[in-house]
Amino acid sequence: MTALTAPARPGRDASPRPVPWRRMAWVTWRQHRIALAGVATLLGAWALYLWLAGSSAYHAYAAAIACHPASSIACGEILNEFDYAYGDPALHAAVLLQVVPALIGAFTGAPVLARELESGTFRYAWTLPFGRWRWALAKLVLLAVALVVAAEAFSLLFSWFFQPFLADGHDTPFAPELFDLRGVGFAAWTLAAFAIGALAGLLIRRVVAAIAATLAAYAGLAFAAGLYLRQHYAAPLLTRAPDVPGSAWVMSQWWTKGGRFAFGHPSNDLLMRLCPSPGPYKRPQASVAQCLAPHGYTQWTSYQPVSRFWPFQWIEGGWLLALSALLIAATIWLVRRRAA
């Protein structure tokens, strides 16, 4: 080590212009390309499955609805067979897909800051002239946009895949395992998981712990939204009609007599007395309503009609977007002011 190359003379700018934003594109790609490749692999494998399963399901569905006459027992059998062969696996796939936004968000979001803090490299990255809050903003926004685009594309494929199972109107798209996979829900939940992960990574400063915390926080939020929050996006409709369509999301049902609450479900005693059964089969709801109506009983149903699917999607997507923006803004603010 005898020859020592010397750097050229430094420039003397009094007020330097900021380093251009576009420079972060390569940096972000270089540092997170493995995580992004993982996301592409996960979504790609699922997309391949949905495409193959969807293609054959569409084929079978076309055959089932081509059956004439549609009300015949034979045609009913074919539809039942279709539901059994294709509908159940599709629902299982939907249940499994619930964890995908959480995994994507946790494994891409949590390491963005946690890995820098854990390994000490933030001391390098954050003292370069690009500036640390701009560094955090550029990274988080670029990754968030990439994830949202990928998630939304995947969600469109899933919507196509699941369409035959909703087409007959017997099932509701509000089902908790479906609602957050279609429309804008999937992308919004992925974004939320990513934003949770970024903030958790900054606060916890350990990659593995931050991923675990992100998964836990996401699960809490997803359950709270599905079980308690979503039904309040709009006041439910109330109807006395005995046959609410299967595509509606039924909140609750009860019976009144003389304008006063009678019971939630008619008791077996009451049914035996007022509606003597013609056979051993359980009677459909409409006929129970028909036989109890002359005795002064009225069935009430509160429900969200299927026409509210998109308003509900936008409401949920909207608050998740706002929450994510807030979490990312908080992360950047903490990066800017926080002690290292």
Partner 1 sequence: MNVIETNGLGKRYGGTWALRECTLAVPTGHVAALVGPNGAGKTTLLNLAVGLAPPTAGAVTVLGGQPAGSSAALDGIAFVAQDTPLYQNLPAADLLHLTRNLSRRFDQPYARARLDELGIPLNRKAGKLSGGQQAQLALTLALARRPRLLVLDEPVAMLDPVARHDFMATVLAATAADGVSVLLSSHVLAELERVADYLILLARGQVQVTGRVDDLLAARHLASLEALALSYLREDPAEVTR
Choice from 119, 252, 277, 287 touching partner 1 (CB under 8 A):
119
Residue 258 in the binding site for partner 1 (CB under 8 A): no
Query: 3-class DSSP state for residue 175?
Result: coil
Residue 298 in the binding site for partner 1 (CB under 8 A): no
Choice from 80, 121, 277, 287 touching partner 1 (CB under 8 A):
121
The burial class, CB within 10 Å (0-12 / 13-18 / 19+), for 42 is middle
Give the x-and-dash track for 126-145 against partner 1 (CB under 8 A): xxxxxx---x----------
Shortest Å distance, C-beta 137 to partner 1: 13
Residue 124 in the binding site for partner 1 (CB under 8 A): yes
**Among 311, 310, 59, 46, which Cα is nearest to 158's?**
46
Please, which residue, 13 or 269, has the CB nearer to partner 1?
Answer: 13
Longest C-alpha distance within the chain, in Å? Answer: 106
Residue 1 in the binding site for partner 1 (CB under 8 A): yes
Beta pairing class for 260-263 and 237-239 = unpaired
Residue 339 in the binding site for partner 1 (CB under 8 A): yes
Of 48-56, 98-106, 182-190, 332-340, the segment contacting partner 1 by CB under 8 A is 332-340
Residues 4-23, interacting with partner 1 (CB under 8 A): 4-19, 23
- Say how many C-beta atoms besides its own lie within 10 A of residue 101's C-beta: 27
**Cα separations (Å) of 294 from 22, 61, 277?**
74, 41, 16
**Among 172, 119, 142, 185, which Cα is nearest to 321's?**
185
For 150-162, letters b (16+ CB in 10 Å) and e give bbbebbebbbebb
Residues 39-68, interacting with partner 1 (CB under 8 A): none
Shortest Å distance, C-beta 115 to partner 1: 9
For binding to partner 1 (CB under 8 A), which residues are involved?
A: 1, 3-19, 23-24, 26-27, 30-31, 119-121, 123-131, 135, 337, 339-340
